[in-house]
Every structure is written in C-alpha cells, then in structure tokens.
Structure 1
C-alpha cells in the first residue's frame, strides 16, 4: 500500500495532467472557428445588399477575418457551427429583401428577426427556402404587396410576427399548414378579407393578435377548436354578425378583445360550467344591442371589462351584475344608451377598481359618497352632473380626470390642485368661470394637461400650473390681450387659445417656448399687429392664426421650423409676396394662405416650387398674378400617388376621454363650404387658387396629381383650352374653372370621371358640344352658362357642324399633351430632395398611449 507521501504525489500528478488537458482543449477550441466559411460569405453578402443612412447597427461588427459566430446578432449551433439565429432588429437595414438574397442560403436558420428595418418592398416567396425556421419576425419593416402563400411551407414555424406593415389582400389560407404555430401577430398589417377557416386547424395556437386591420365577415362558429388559445385580440377591424358562444367555451382563454368592430345582436356567452379563466373582456364600440347578459357575472376572474357603446335600446340595465366581479380593476360602460340612472355608490363594493368610465350615463352622486381610493383613471363625461363631485377629493392616486360636457357651474375647487399625482384634467363644456386657490397652490400643482375649453371664463385670466404641457381654453369669453401668465408655461407643447375675444398683438414672450412648443392655435380672435419673428419655435409642427387681423409679412423665421406640417394664416391682413422659401420645409403638408393681401407671382424662374408632401394648397382670394409654367405641378408627389404620408402632428393629442385637440381648416367642396377635421387630413387632397389674377394656360402637369379630390381655379384670367390631362384625375369630386377666359371645347374625356359630382365651367369663352357622360349630364345648366359657343344638354342650344373634324383635332391635341406629361413624369421620378434643411423629427411630449406622434 502506497505511503501517504506517495499518495499525495499521485494526486498532485493527476491534477496536473487534468489541468494540462483542459488547457490544451481550451487552446484547441479557441483556435477552431465554429462558423462555416460558406455561411460567413452569405452573411457578408447579405450585409452588402443594403445601404446604411446612419450607421451599420449590429452588422458594423461583421469582419471577414473573425468568426461569424461571434458577430452581433448571430448565434450558431455549438456542435455543427451552423448559423441558427439571425437577429438584426433595428439595425438600419435600408433596401428591399431580394428574392435571390444570400440570406436564403442560410438553410439551418431557426430564428430570423429583421424587425424595425426599412425593407421597403414585397416579402419574397423564397422566404420558404428557410425551411427550418421556428421564429420569424418582420415587425415594422415597410413591407407591402401580398403575403406569399409559400409561407405555409415553413412547417416548423412556431412564432410569426408580420405586424405594422402595408400588405394588401387577404391572409393566405396556406397558413393553415403551419400546424406547429403557437403565436400569430399581424397587428396593423393592412390585411383584409375573412379569417381563413384553415386557421382553426392550428390546434397549437395560444396567441392570435389581428388588431387594426381590415378583416371582415363573421367569426367561424367552431372557435372552440382552438382549445389552447390564451390570447385572442381582433379589435379595430370590420368583423360583423354575432359572436359565437364557442369562443367563451375555450377553457384556456385569458384575454379576449373584440372591441371596435361591427358585431351585432345580443351577446350569448353560453353555459359556462367550469370556472372561467377569462381576465380581460373588451366588447366596446360595436353594435351590440339588447340587455347586458346576466351570465357576465359568472366570469368571476375578470380584471378588465369594456361594454362601451352597448345599445340597450333605452332599456334598463341591472348594474348589480358587476358587483359579482370582485377583481375588476377596469370597468368601461360609457355611452350604453340606457335610461337607467346609476347610483355611483353601487360601485363602492369594487375595492380594486382603478379605471372607471361611465361617460354618457345619468349618474346619481351622493355628496357623502366615498369610493375606494385606488382609482387612477376616471371619466364621467356627459353624465348630467350639476355639482363638482366631492368624492374625488379623497382620490389621492387619481391621474386622469374627465368631467367634461356636464352642467357644473361656478369655480373649480382649490382641493383639485392639491391632488398629488393628478396630471390630466378635462373640465371642458361646462359653465366654469374661474379657479379657487392661491397662486402658490395652483402654480405648484403637478398638472400636465388642462382643458377648460367651452366654458364661461373671462377676465381675469386664471393662474395656471407652471408644469403644463397641454393647455386649451378655446371657446370662452376671454377679452383683451393674451395674458402674460402664458409666458410662465416654459414646458408648454400645445397651446390652444382659439375662438375667444383676444385682441392686441401676439406676445413676444412666446420666445420662451423655443425649446418645446409644437402646436400653436390662435384662430378666430381679434389679434392684430405683425407676427413677431422671435416667437417662432423651431419645433413647431402646427401653426394656426387664421381669422385674425395680423398684418405685415409672413415671418421668414418659419424656415427654421423644419418639422412644420400645418400652416394656416387665412383671413388676415398679411401683405407679402408668395413665400417661396416654404418649399424648403420638408414636412409641409397643409398650406392655407386664403383671404389675405399676398401678391405677385407664385412661380419663380430661379427655383422649382416642389412640395413633395403637400396635400392641401389654398392660396385663394389674394392678389397673385403671372403665368404658371406647364410643368408647375411636376414635383408634388403626395398628390400624385396614394402612398401614405406620416403625419406626426396628432389630430387628437390625447387618446382617452374627450380632451382632444382637433386641427381644422375650412374648404370649399362641391360648391359648399365645409370644415375638415381630424382624420380627414390624411385622405383629403385639394388645390384652390381661385380669386386671384393668374393668367396664361392651365398647366397641363395638373394631370399628374391623380389623388386630387378638389380643384378650384375659378375667378382668374386663365386662357387657352381646358387641358385633357384633367381626365387623369380619376378621384376628382369637385372641379371649378368658372369665370376665366378659357376657350375651345370641353374635353370629352372629362365625361368619364365617375366621382366628379360637381363641376362649373360658366363665364368663359368655351364652344362646341358639352360632352356626354352621366356626371356631366346631371349638372345644372348654370354650370355651363355664359359660354356663347357651348351647345347640347343641359343647355337649350342644340349642336351641329362637322363633328368628325372636331374629333380629329381633339385627338391630335391630346396626343401632344400626353407626350408632354410623360416627360414631366420622368422629371418628377428623377427628383430627389436634397439633405439640406432636413433633420430628425423631434416629437416633444410624445406620451405613450396618450400623446401620439402619428396621425
């Protein structure tokens, strides 16, 4: 038997051998490159398929002399060295995903994430070459076209996310072959049609999110075949019919959102025998009618319930149903169309309630009411409330309060300003006339958004919390000059003072807002003087000073507002030449100079007037003169195509309650005055140059603006013929060329414009037959009056003469004009805006979920 010293020596020798062996293995493994050479080459080729405007993101670390398995975004199988994961989310990839991309040579990929890149183009069918894919994420990649049916060949796929893209058409039925799929996300993907029945074959699905698309039709009756479904969200579509009771029979279902669709009829939940796991049920903003089902009380696990806009047909609602839902944290019952008056004390038993919306329901509020204090969001708009609810004073966790559109009079109580975390207050559409509270209490209050519009406020102008970011006092009775109190709001993002009796000049103290102000609305007051150049904020996105008495020149300092999208100075006394420098504002979408004293030419021989994003151009009722060149409209891209323009100035600043800021502009359409508000800005495209002294031919390049809805060139001195290129404006609804000096015939092609509901050619020197066409023939004779040479219905004069010769002349003129338009299209396609004056879009006050940065 070895001695102790010999055993010790043997142990140390063994340890040394093991240590040396491990070191040798480590050295060997570090010198072996896992990455297979042909896969490295494919990755480097894939990187070079894109160009990078800012930086290369994760691909910046990719070098030919290093192991590709060590590159950012790459994971390899340690046994085989095959690339199995490629995660290039938000890596500044810029360019289409090619059908022959080297990406598809990575045959062993199991995870592919290219989300948040600019892959503008179609999703190629060759994506199915990656046959071992399990996770595919192409979220927010600017993809368009149809989703390829070859996607159904990815039989190993478990997670698919194609959300926030611009696809068209339906979801291909081939998705029904993805029998391993567990999660399907297609949020805001612009898809339409019905849900493929084959989707019900995917028994492994746990998550379906189809929010904000254009899906329609009825849900399949046998939804319970998705027996493992946990999350089902289809809000913001056009689904219709009744909700199948089988949906509530899925034993695993936890989250069900059917809101903002067109579902109808009474709701049948069915016989729920086992305890339901359902925690979230959103049914609001549909067309449900009839009584609220009592079976809702069986959903004892509910945490969030939304039944807003339920039509009870003015029937009664048994609100005791909700008392069985002891776990409720969110309850939205707004606009239920019930005659029942609700005693708010009924809900005092819901001890966890944190979000309550009873807007549109008649409420009884006892002065001694005491609701549980966890309430954070409270909306009681249009509830026939006559006194400021005193129970709010004890809601120390309250963040959001909307008591708009009630009948409350007098002053806002001082205790409201002392609520410690309350940041949003909407008391609009009441009869408040002032604030109670000392300067110290009010100005130190932590309020961020305050809407006091449509009340009876007048002098003195109220003290305001200095922390305000959003303030609206429109539609009150404020007289005199704009209060200097405004100057203390150094964090202000949105200021709306419209529809009051303010006079005097614009305060120069607005310069203090130069780091924050993005929306300024002084519309419809009696403000005079010149617009102070120093008051212009470089972050301005929306400026509306219409319907005042402002004079002088349009401040050229606006050129620094590269984020400006909306500019309206209508109905003032501006006396200036056309501001050609506005073309340097890369985001300008709406320009209204109507009814001022602007003068001179609207064309400069030294620079093309190119407005790539302009959708509304109104310079009517001014003193503009001169001749427009034939290619004048060649660079107005947004009116030439239906490509969506991102609008970062929200039409609705806030996403809850009624505290919204709406931009608006008055327009003339079909001979009627109208006001364009809200989402109409996204689709409305209009040109109005009427009421000036512009002369010469109508530019034939007008035919390029295929998305125009309204065109008004009346009351000018245009001469020559009506360009046949107008027939290209297939979306045109209103055309007014009256009171000019136009000659020749009305192009017969205009008779084919099926949307053209209103037209006016009167008071010109037109001749020949009025074209045949349903829309033209439906016009009143006054639309063609005072043209001595015109004949045919609806005029009384009959036509004669050599029609064959007239037709040949029209064809020759049309051919010549088409040749011109083709050359302008080429010029417009070749136009690329320079980088000078462009900058990143800063969005002050972009509150997640409440202050949106996109229209």
Structure 2
C-alpha cells in the first residue's frame, strides 16, 4: 500500500497529465482510499437516510466514473465530486491519504460515517477547487484545522455534530478568507474559546447560519447587531444556547429570512416591532425564553406568512399594543375573544384568513375606545358580535367568509352609519331592506342569500358589490343618485325589467358595470357620455335586444366589452375599432349578421386579445383585414409576460369563454391569454394564411362553419397555440406535417371534414385520440383503425399550396387524370395517395361502391 501511495505522489503533475494517465491515477487513488477504510454491514443509527457501503461497488474492472458516489467531469474525466454520506465508513483519514490526490474535487460529502474519533486532517485544506465540504456527524475529534481557511472557493461548510472545537483565531481566519461562503453550519461544535465578534465579517452573501445547541460552552451574551448585515440570510437558527439580552432592532433588516429559530435561550425584553419587516417568514420559533410584553411594543404585524400553531394568551399582556395583524397565516384552534379585552389602546385588529374559530361571549361588554379597523374574515363567526355597538371610532369592518345567517339586526345599522368600509360577503344573510350610512364608501354584500328588491346604497358609496344573491325586480332609477360610484356589480341575481337609461352617464367615475346573469330586457342604454371612465361593461346572459348603441365609442377607456348571450340584432360593430384600449370583445350567442369588413388597414382593434363572435349569423369570408390589425396577438410586450391581470387591485375582470372544447369562467384574465372564437357562423371560403402571423394566439376555434380548401401550413407558426378546433367544415387535403411543431397543443379537433391521407405522427400528435379525426373518411393511420399502406408522414403542405411544386417533385399527370371524372382537386388528392401508399383501402372501397 505504501508503494502504491508513493507511486501516486511521485507523479510529475496532476494538472498537466494526459486524460488517460489522470484517469488511471485517480482510479488508483480511489481504490487505495477504499483499502484504507472498512465498511461493516450494520447500518449507522444516526444516518437520516438509508445507509449502505457505496464503496463496495468500486472495482477495477468497472469504469471509476460510474462508481457509486463518484462524479466526473464529462469531458476530462476528472473526479469533481464524491458523495459518500451514509456509507458506513470506518477508519481514519490521515494527511497522507490518497483521498487528497484528487486536486479537481469540487464537492465532498462524508457526512454520517464513523472516522473513529480521529482529527480532521489538515489535508482537506489542499482542495483548492472545493466548493462544498460536509463532515457532519462523522465522529471527528480535536480542533478544526486552520488549513480549512485555504478553501477560498468554499460555498458551503458543515462541521455539525462532531466532538470538535473551534478556536477564535481559526474562526477569524475562516470568516476572513472564505468570502464566497453561503452556508455555515457549526451545530454542537465546541466554541467556548470563540468570541461572537469573530462573526462580524461573515460574507454578506451568507444565506444559512446555524449555531445550535452550544449550551455547554460559554457561548452566550447578547447577539451582535453585526449579524443584521447578513442581508442574504434566509435560514438563521441559534436555538438551545445561552444568549441573553434583547433581540437587536436591526434584525428587522434580515428581510429574506424564512426560517428563524431563537428558542431555548435566555432572551429578555420585548420582541422588536422591526421584525414585522420579515415578510418571507415561513417558520419562526422564539419559545422558551423570557420575553415580556412591554409598553414599548405598539405594532405586531405578521400578516401573509406561513405561521402556524395557536395564538398565545400572553398577547393580553401587550397592553400598549396599537396594531395586531396576523392575517393570512395558518394559525388554528379556538380562541376566546376575551384575550384581547385588555388591549384598550388597540386601533387595528386583524385575525382574518387563518384556521381559527373565534368564540365571542355576547354577554360580556368589551371596551375598545380606539378601535378603528376590525377584520375577522374567515373566523367561523355565527352571529354579529354584540360588542360592535360600543365601537364609536370604528370605520372598517370585515366579517366576510363566516357563517352569519338571517337578517341584519337593527342595532347593526347604527354601527354601519359610521363605517367607511363594510364587507359582509360570503355569509348566509337573507334580507336587507335598506342600507344606512352617510360615510359608507365600500360595501360588499356578494355571495349571500339575499332576497327581495334591490337595496339602493347611500349616495356616498364608491364600490358596491351585491352579486351572487337572489334579488328580484328592477334596478330603481334612484341608483343614478350615486354620483361617486366607481364599481357596480349586480351580476348573478334574478333582476329583470329595463336597464335604467341613466346608467350610461350618471357618474363620471364609473369604471365597472357588471349586470351579467340576470333577466334584463329591452335595449342597451344609448346615452354613454363623452369622457366617461368605463373600463368594464358586462351584460352577458340577459334578454337584451335591438341595436348596439354607437355612443359606446365615447367609452375610450373601455378594456372589456362582454355582450354575449343576448338577442342583439345588428351588423358587426366595426366602429368599435376607435376604442384604443379594448382588449376583450365578446358578442357570442346573439343575432349579429352580415360580413365582417370595413376595417382600416393596420389599425383595427390593436389591443384585442380575447375575441368571441361565435354562435351568430356572420357570413362571407374570414376577415383577413381584421386579423392583420390584431397587434397585441402578433407581438407581445415583455413586461406582460409576468402574471399580470386585466383590472385593478379592487376589481379583477372575469369572463366566460369557450376554451379547449368547454365553456367556463375565467375568474381572472391574464393579459397574455389570447383566443379567437368564430365558431358556429356561416363563414365560407379558405382559412386565410394571415392567421399564421398571430404567433401569440393560444386558442383558435373556427368550427361549425362552411370553410373549404386546405389547412394552411402557416398555422404551424402559432408557436404557443394550445387549442385548435376547425371541426365541422368542408376542409380537404391532408393534415400539414408542419403542425407537429406545435409543442404546446393540448386540444386538436379536425373532425367532420373531408381530410385525406396519413395522420402526422410524433410530438403532440401522439396524444390525440380518435375524436380528433372522426368524420374524415379519407384519413388513415394512428390513432384511427384505418391503416395506411406505408408508415411515411405526409409531405409538407407546401405541395398542396403550390401546384407547380407538386409536379416538379415527381407528382405526374397520370395520377391526376385518375380523378378527372370526380373533379380536378379530387384527382390531385387521390393521385397523391395512390402514388405514396399504393391502394388506400378507402379509395378501393369508394371505387367498388362499398
């Protein structure tokens, strides 16, 4: 063995050797390392994963780069990684170990082995390229060697769980030289000779720092505020130590921390309010300390995290608390509202959107003289809390998503009179006859069981939501007294009668008018005033009729126009192209008629993304000019690639569309979602090639028309297309092979046409079933039972679209003449099939009259 080691170390240069020589030397080095250690069959109890002796598979007859735990550079075949964690290794690793003859090593994991209480060798400092070193829980002894500070490329160092010590000068050297370090784990390491000041110069890129269970050392005192300079830190655990004093306010600068453990120490004082800046917190544990509620704590805001468990009753000790917000977390259990009774300074209390059940004793009188903002959404409340009547300063009340039933009690109306914001949505309220309030601006009553006539809100209301109820009767004309109204949503009710004529011009601020899913009759109001603010106008699923009012051109801010499922009888409103911001146009299931033309070149409907003209009586050719003007589908703004939705924070638009063969409601509309649905009309002629320029189109439906000719190969340019339905037309020819390049295509429907030839194979086409092709008696190949005579794919459809190319490619006149009696185009198709496939069965059957 000594001879082998000497032979290896006498090599002139590892870095300049040939690949073959280096391979031999590294293989020998690994085999010698194997011989230096033993690997018993019994597993190690402290290994968190299944353990087995990985090096048992290391054999000279097998390429060493395929050995278990060995990772090689693919080009030069250097060993760049060794993962021998949980490998049952036993023995020692001396400084002359052949392990240190692998100079290209970048990753080394020897965790959870048994190195017989030997010291960590100084040889580990020779790995100049090493980025990851893990020696955790491997029965090491002694001191951390200074040589580890030579590993200037080290990104992660884990020495946890060993019986080792760390001297102050070594830690200082590590901190100073390892400038690329991102993870440092020293759990259970003896640091009795270390000063916390040595951590002051840790790399600002450090993302994980664990110093667990140092309680047997003298590692205590106050936390150095310098730790707050580790702005990239996402994992900080200092639990089970002897730290004392208070948490520095500067820890609120650690805004990327997701795991924060300080439990089982001797911290005192208050939890600093600056920790409310830690918006990314996923887990936090400050238990088993001596924190106190002090009068200095005025704000505790932990909203929108993933915090869980119960709310500690010690909250009641924070008598100076002014703001307590734990909304949108995972807190659970039943809590007594009594715990907040001592918080007489509280101004904001928000417990919403957890898994809490709030128990409120209506026989007790709670006094919150300064409470202004109370949010108890989704707290399993069954009755209006009686203490609300004592809240004289209350201006915001949210009791949505609870289980409150029946009528609103009379005493609640006195509470409402002083409110600016009231949300009672998603309950089981049955009736409300009038709504008081001189200051009320936001009123949300949607998703209840409200019956009766339409309740007109106070004239001060700006946002009014009362959708998804059972209201009946007409909208009274007094609605037009709400001169400040911006949002009016009365959708999904049973309202009927005429739409008040004033709705087109009663408010200069009205942005959203949603009247869908009711039973309104008559015509759409004609008086849409100039300079109005309408952004969304939805009348879908009513019984409106007549012409479309041309005063809609005054709605220059309009983005969404949804008039689907009515009885509107008009020609195509080409004059809507004057609306510069229009993104959604839905006219489906009406009585629109005639041709779609009169467009201005290169300027029509530039912002349109969602177009649904289906189930009407449109005729003529498909409108090429219309398609040419759809700039938002032809090009896409990079800033819109992110998940941006049409609408504002207070109201996000929804729309009913036919997508991938099914009708459903998009609750929110991504600006990158695009669809064109012209199905179930009377269009004829060919599919225009210009459709191929709409490269950001995701859904195209031209089904149930009278389209003829070939499927244009230009559709292959629709690179993000997910659904293509051109079924129930009279299209002929073969399916273009180019369509197999549509890798996002999930839905394909070519059924009920006159298509012929083999079905393209491969890519997404292998996922489509029979239903995509039924009703085309001339198609053959998988997935149909009709087999083609050969396995070739159809040629590019350019042969279909350029007759001259067909003949110059060997397609002779004899094949064409075969179909002369049935027409020239039929001859082209049949001749092509005979030439390519011999005698297709469907042709033979046709000739024989079967």
Q: TM-score range by the shorter chain?
A: 0.5 to 0.7
How many angstroms apart in 2 are the aligned matches of 1:584 and 1:598?
19
Residues 159-205 of structure 1, C-alpha deviation per residue, up to 9 Å, x if partnerless? xxxxxxxxxxxxxxxxxxxxxxxxxxxxxxxxxxxx997999xx999
Does the 8 A contact of 1:550 with 1:573 survive in 2?
Answer: yes
Residue in 2 that maps onto 1:546: 540
Residue in 1 that maps onto 2:564: 570
- Of 468, 472, 487, 2:461 maps to 468
Residue in 1 that maps onto 2:520: 527
Q: For the structure 1 residues 772 and 366, does the alpha-carbon distance in structure 2 shift closer, same or farther, using more than 3 Å as the test? A: same
Residue in 1 that maps onto 2:751: 762
Aligned partner of residue 756 in structure 2, secondary structure: strand
Does the 8 A contact of 1:296 with 1:321 survive in 2?
Answer: no
Residue in 2 that maps onto 1:56: none
Residue in 1 that maps onto 2:610: 616
- Of 682, 687, 691, 2:676 maps to 687
How many angstroms apart in 2 are the aligned matches of 1:687 and 1:243?
51
Q: For the structure 1 residues 808 and 407, does the alpha-carbon distance in structure 2 shift closer, same or farther, using more than 3 Å as the test? A: closer
2:698 is equivalent to residue 702 of structure 1: no
Residue in 1 that maps onto 2:664: 674
Cα displacement (A) at 1:789: 1.9
How many angstroms apart in 2 are the aligned matches of 1:752 and 1:196?
44
Q: For the structure 1 residues 354 and 771, does the alpha-carbon distance in structure 2 shift closer, same or farther, using more than 3 Å as the test? A: same
Aligned partner of residue 513 in structure 1, secondary structure: coil
Residue in 1 that maps onto 2:420: 423
Aligned partner of residue 428 in structure 1, secondary structure: coil
Q: For the structure 1 residues 326 and 598, does the alpha-carbon distance in structure 2 shift closer, same or farther, using more than 3 Å as the test? A: same
Cα displacement (A) at 1:511: 4.5
- Of 756, 776, 792, 2:781 maps to 792
Does the 8 A contact of 1:227 with 1:251 survive in 2?
Answer: no
How many angstroms apart in 1 are the aligned matches of 2:224 and 2:764?
52
Residue in 2 that maps onto 1:603: 597
2:721 is equivalent to residue 732 of structure 1: yes
Cα displacement (A) at 1:281: 3.2
Residue in 2 that maps onto 1:493: 486
Does the 8 A contact of 2:674 with 2:698 survive in 1?
Answer: yes
How many angstroms apart in 1 are the aligned matches of 2:648 and 2:608?
20
Q: For the structure 1 residues 488 and 609, does the alpha-carbon distance in structure 2 shift closer, same or farther, using more than 3 Å as the test? A: same
Does the 8 A contact of 2:247 with 2:272 survive in 1?
Answer: no
How many angstroms apart in 2 are the aligned matches of 1:638 and 1:431?
43
The structure with the largest alpha-carbon Rg is 2
Residue in 2 that maps onto 1:12: none
Cα displacement (A) at 1:335: 5.2
Cα displacement (A) at 1:322: 2.6
Higher relative contact order by CA 8 Å / sep ≥ 6: 1 or 2? 1
In the alignment, structure 1 segments of 5+ residues that lack a partner are 1-194, 209-216, 655-660, 817-855
Greater alpha carbon shift after TM alignment, 777-786 vs 558-567: 777-786
- Of 299, 306, 310, 2:302 maps to 306
Q: For the structure 1 residues 417 and 782, does the alpha-carbon distance in structure 2 shift closer, same or farther, using more than 3 Å as the test? A: same
Aligned partner of residue 550 in structure 1, secondary structure: strand
How many angstroms apart in 1 are the aligned matches of 2:512 and 2:180?
44
How many angstroms apart in 1 are the aligned matches of 2:264 and 2:490?
53
Residue in 2 that maps onto 1:279: 273
| Superposition map of 1:380-395 within 5 A | 380-395=376-391
Residues 723-771 of structure 1, C-alpha deviation per residue, up to 9 Å, x if partnerless? 2122122211111111111122211121122211110111111122211
Q: For the structure 1 residues 685 and 632, does the alpha-carbon distance in structure 2 shift closer, same or farther, using more than 3 Å as the test? A: same
Residues 36-65 of structure 1, C-alpha deviation per residue, up to 9 Å, x if partnerless? xxxxxxxxxxxxxxxxxxxxxxxxxxxxxx
Does the 8 A contact of 1:254 with 1:279 survive in 2?
Answer: no
How many angstroms apart in 2 are the aligned matches of 1:282 and 1:780?
54
Work out the number of aligned pairs and report it.
588
Greater alpha carbon shift after TM alignment, 636-645 vs 519-528: 636-645
2:360 is equivalent to residue 365 of structure 1: yes
TM-score, normalised to structure 2, is: 0.62
Cα displacement (A) at 1:319: 2.1
In the alignment, structure 2 segments of 5+ residues that lack a partner are 1-178, 185-198, 212-222, 806-850
Q: For the structure 1 residues 648 and 793, does the alpha-carbon distance in structure 2 shift closer, same or farther, using more than 3 Å as the test? A: closer
TM-score, normalised to structure 1, is: 0.62
Residues 446-501 of structure 1, C-alpha deviation per residue, up to 9 Å, x if partnerless? 10010111223222433521100111111222111112331221211110111111
- Of 312, 319, 324, 1:319 maps to 312
Residue in 2 that maps onto 1:637: 631
How many angstroms apart in 2 are the aligned matches of 1:220 and 1:226?
17
Residues 793-818 of structure 1, C-alpha deviation per residue, up to 9 Å, x if partnerless? 111222247969945854975999xx
- Of 383, 386, 399, 2:395 maps to 399
Q: For the structure 1 residues 267 and 689, does the alpha-carbon distance in structure 2 shift closer, same or farther, using more than 3 Å as the test? A: farther
Does the 8 A contact of 1:738 with 1:760 survive in 2?
Answer: yes
Q: For the structure 1 residues 540 and 225, does the alpha-carbon distance in structure 2 shift closer, same or farther, using more than 3 Å as the test? A: farther
How many angstroms apart in 2 are the aligned matches of 1:249 and 1:706?
59
How many angstroms apart in 2 are the aligned matches of 1:585 and 1:457?
37
Cα displacement (A) at 1:622: 0.8
Q: For the structure 1 residues 773 and 806, does the alpha-carbon distance in structure 2 shift closer, same or farther, using more than 3 Å as the test? A: closer
Aligned partner of residue 281 in structure 1, secondary structure: helix
Aligned partner of residue 449 in structure 2, secondary structure: coil
Greater alpha carbon shift after TM alignment, 372-381 vs 508-517: 508-517
Does the 8 A contact of 1:412 with 1:436 survive in 2?
Answer: no
Q: For the structure 1 residues 809 and 197, does the alpha-carbon distance in structure 2 shift closer, same or farther, using more than 3 Å as the test? A: same
Does the 8 A contact of 1:430 with 1:455 survive in 2?
Answer: yes
